Structure 1
Amino acid sequence: MAHDVVVLGASVAGLTVARRLAAEGYDVLVLDPNQEFRSAAIGHGVAAVGHASTVATMTIAYGVAGALEHARRNLAAMAEIRQIHPGLTTMTLRDSSLPGGDERETREVAELFRTAGAEAQVDRWPGGAALVTQALCVDVDEYARLLRAAAVAAGAQVVHEVTVTHLTRREGITRIGFRNNLAWVRDAGDVGGVAVIDTLGVSPWGRAARIGPAQWVPVLRCIPARPRTEVSLHATGPAWMIRPVGEAALVVGQKVSLSSIDAATAGLAQWARSELGASALETGRMAIDPSDHGRPVVGASAIPGGFYARGNGRGELMNGTASGYYLAGLLLGDSPANALPRFSRMRAYGSRLLRQRGAEG
């Protein structure tokens, strides 16, 4: 019998949607090519209602309604993150990501956030203005463990170290062929799903949803001369985000191409030494799937049963959770174009009843 939903990728988006659907009684299988936690333990580990530069750009591209929907999805994602990780850290986010620090535009973004239901203030100084909101901060490795455990506890089956080899759609079911990554395991696997959610870009619909070639981001951990107490975002300079991690700091750079990543990493390290008085530097790089004006590319494909989440980028915690939450809403909704079929819903209802009776007994 085919699964109700097969999720490709135990990413933050994949595990979030798997947990929500499994909690409703649906039969959910997650296939992931990496070792446990690897696909979800990425990004800077900060979630917020939004970034000023992203929301300003989205307002121009899609109008106020589109930007407002983005903020509301992020707020729903923050509630989801709190549920998974009650012991997370809340910090002030000082957002100076708007080029030029335009005060009028900053106030417009703050008002949009307040309309969405978030608290937002504007701080002024002679050179411009900053948007001040609250951010959730997690250790990405710890959150990956907690999220996977929550998905499994809800009833999702999560299988790691398998690579999808082919997909075929026939008579309402997508067959997914896969193989074990271990060289000495030659047996191929095959499963079916009424719906298939691709968070890896390995399906025809997942590849089609890609915005462009991968982007690269330099990152470094360091110990600043003065401990940081706030998360900050910057429009200019090598650093895009500075996040406190105890006495240390995580510095995330601006997006660059592959050909520029070495120079960008060196420039970020030099900036950290001169501007932060940083010591004990550890540098690295991150490859990210580009987004659409800062918004993840998430939704339903024209191919029946095909769903996707792409472009979660540096903000995997925030964007991935928002994408997973949104996809679960599509599949649990009333629209016949996207919702799971009646048979799956009836089976999920029966599963919920059995679970409730087991808890009561």
Structure 2
Amino acid sequence: MVHDVVVIGASVAGLTAARRLATDGFDVVVLDPNPEGASAAIGHGVAACAHSSTVTTMSAAYGTEAVNEHVRRNLVGMEEIRRVLATGDVPHRVLPLHDHSLGVALDRELVPTLELLASAGAEVRLLGRDETRRPGAGIVSEAILVDPAQYAGALAAQAAHAGADIRYDMTVTHLVRRDGVTAVAARPNLAWAREVHSMLAVAVVDTLGVSPWGRMAGNGAAQYVPRVRFRVAQVPDVVTLSAGPPVWLVRPDGDEAVAYGPKYPASGRGDGVAELERFVTGRLGGTDLRSGTMAIDPSDHGRPAVGASPIPGGFYARGNGRGELMNGTASGTFLAALLLGLESSHQNNALPMSSRLRASARGLRQRLLGH
């Protein structure tokens, strides 16, 4: 039997793509080397249309068309997040995002960035003087906040309910492309297990960087983000982005708050945590601090590495696009659109007509059976 798609990694990107494809009737298998939830229950749990610093950097590096595409994918991703939240009745909050990621600036200095975001379809405005919680101008947009573990659980459950076969504690060991399909071999992560699970797939989506096409899309060594959870007299009612260091993002989480620092190399993460702790204590009045770091792939000027490989049937999501809520969902929905043939400029990457006809038949059968 030849599956339509094998997804390597039950990450946010992988599960999002699997959910979309399985909902449309495609035969999808997800293989993940980690225990259930470990690959997707990560990140800061905040989704928004874009960050000012990312948009500005990306515009300088690639032009406005890249910015438009980045924002468009994020907006499509936010709609997908809303569908997951509504279907699974997942607890969440929608709060203003106060974006100061370009540093201390005047209103007129932010107008070009504001216009870039608005022209791409984002609903944004300048921060009012009566709203500001810190010196300097800022841009206001809407942010969706979730608990990463709760969202990951709901996303996986919905993908499985749609028909995706999700297998945890399975490590992919071999990939061979031959005669229009990819042979995938995987082993259970058990010391005494000797059996090899083999399957064939028309397309393989790699979100872990274990395939030749996934490894080629990598952008460098992992980076680390300091994180400090703390108690504070007044829990913030907005999400705040800063230029950093020492702080990059502050969000509420129940009756506590969480602060995140900017990305550091492995050698600097200890200093980054210490600086963030001093900021939380001295500037935010935080108490009962619990600190740590999150590993993250580097991105390409803020742009997730996601797309189709020159190797037929190979797709990938790397960089920050494979994991956390915002970029992970945007990457997953884009990959699903590629495979479904919904991206007009990437028609050559769509699944073959035979797969689409089988998916239509499965989808019709599921609807008739009330699945």
What TM-score comes out, normalization by structure 2 length?
A: 0.93
The more displaced of 282-291 and 106-115 is: 106-115
For 1:230 and 1:336, locate their aligned partners in 2 and report how far apart those are by CA, in whole Å: 41
Provide, for residues 80-128 of structure 1, a one-character-per-residue CA deviation record: whole Å limited to 9, x for no partner: 1011013421011000001442534422222232233332111266953
Name the CA distance, whole Å, in 2 between partners of 1:28 and 1:112: 37
- Residue 40 of structure 2: SS of its match in structure 1? coil
1:141 is matched with which residue? 149
Q: Cα deviation per residue 1:151-202 (whole Å; 9 max; x = unaligned)? A: 0111111000011111111001111111100112221111111100000001
- Corresponding residue to 1:122 among 115, 123, 126: 126
Q: Which residue of 2 aligns with 1:60?
A: 60
Partner of 1:23: 23
Residue matched to 2:97: 93
Match of 2:358 in 1: 347
- Tell me the distance in 2 between the aligned counterparts of 1:305 and 1:219: 38
Distance in 1, Cα, partners of 2:189 & 2:219: 28
Q: Deviation of residue 342 (structure 1)? A: 1.4
Separation in structure 2 between the aligned mates of residue 260 and residue 34 of structure 1, nearest angstrom: 27
C-alpha separation between the residues in 2 aligned to 1:123 and 1:349?
A: 47
1:165 is paired with a residue of what secondary structure? strand
Residues 148-187 of structure 1 aligned to structure 2 (within 5 Å): 148-187=156-195
Residue 259 of structure 1 aligns to a residue whose secondary structure is helix
Q: Does 1:41 align with 2:41?
A: yes
Distance in 1 (alpha carbons) for counterparts of 2:135 and 2:174: 55
CA separation of 1:272 and 1:314: change in aligned 2, threshold 3 A: farther
* Contact 1:56–1:105, Cα closer than 8 Å, also in 2: no
Decide whether the 8 Å contact of 1:46 with 1:315 is kept in 2.
Answer: no
SS state at 2:370 partner:
helix
Determine the structure 1 residue equivalent to 2:252: 244
Cα 1:53–1:314 change in 2 (3 A) is farther
Rounded Cα–Cα distance in structure 2 between residues aligned with 1:232 and 1:147: 26
Pairwise CA distance, 1:224: 2.0
Give me the whole-angstrom Cα distance separating, in 2, the residues matched to 1:352 and 1:118: 33
SS at structure 2 position matched to 1:177: strand
- The answer to whether the 8 A contact 2:239-2:251 is kept is yes
1:53 positional shift: 0.1
1:97–1:233 Cα contact (<8 Å) kept: yes
1:200 counterpart SS class: coil
Q: Which stretches in structure 1 are left out of the alignment for 5+ residues?
A: none
1:41 partner amino acid: A
Shift >6 Å, 4+ stretches: none
The answer to whether the 8 Å contact 2:306/2:321 transfers is no
**Residue aligned with 2:63, SS:** helix
Per the TM alignment, residue 359 of structure 1 is displaced from its structure 2 partner at its CA by 2.7
State the one-letter code of the partner of 2:65. A
Pairwise CA distance, 1:131: 0.6
Equivalent of 2:242, from 214, 231, 234?
234
In 1, distance between residues paired with 2:28 and 2:323?
25
Q: 1:238 to 1:315 in 2, by over 3 A?
A: farther
CA distance in 1, matches of 2:9, 2:112: 37
- Segment drifting more, 63-72 vs 333-342: 333-342
**Residue of structure 1 aligned with 2:226, choices 213, 218, 222:** 218
**Aligned ranges for residues 330-345 of structure 1 at < 5 Å?**
330-333=338-341, 335-345=346-356
What is the count of residue pairs matched by the alignment? 360
Q: Give the SS at the match of 1:59.
A: helix
Runs of 5+ consecutive residues of structure 2 not aligned to the other structure: none
C-alpha distance in 2, partners of 1:162/1:137? Answer: 31
Query: Alignment identity in percent?
Result: 52
Q: Distance in 1 between matches of 2:259 and 2:321?
A: 15
Question: What amino acid does structure 1 have at the position aligned with 2:151?
Answer: Y
Between 1:310-319 and 1:11-20, the stretch displaced more is: 310-319
Amino acid at match of 2:69: E
Q: RMSD of aligned C-alpha atoms?
A: 1.7
The one-letter code sitting in structure 1 at the alignment partner of 2:60 is I
Q: 2:107 aligns with which of 83, 103, 109?
A: 103
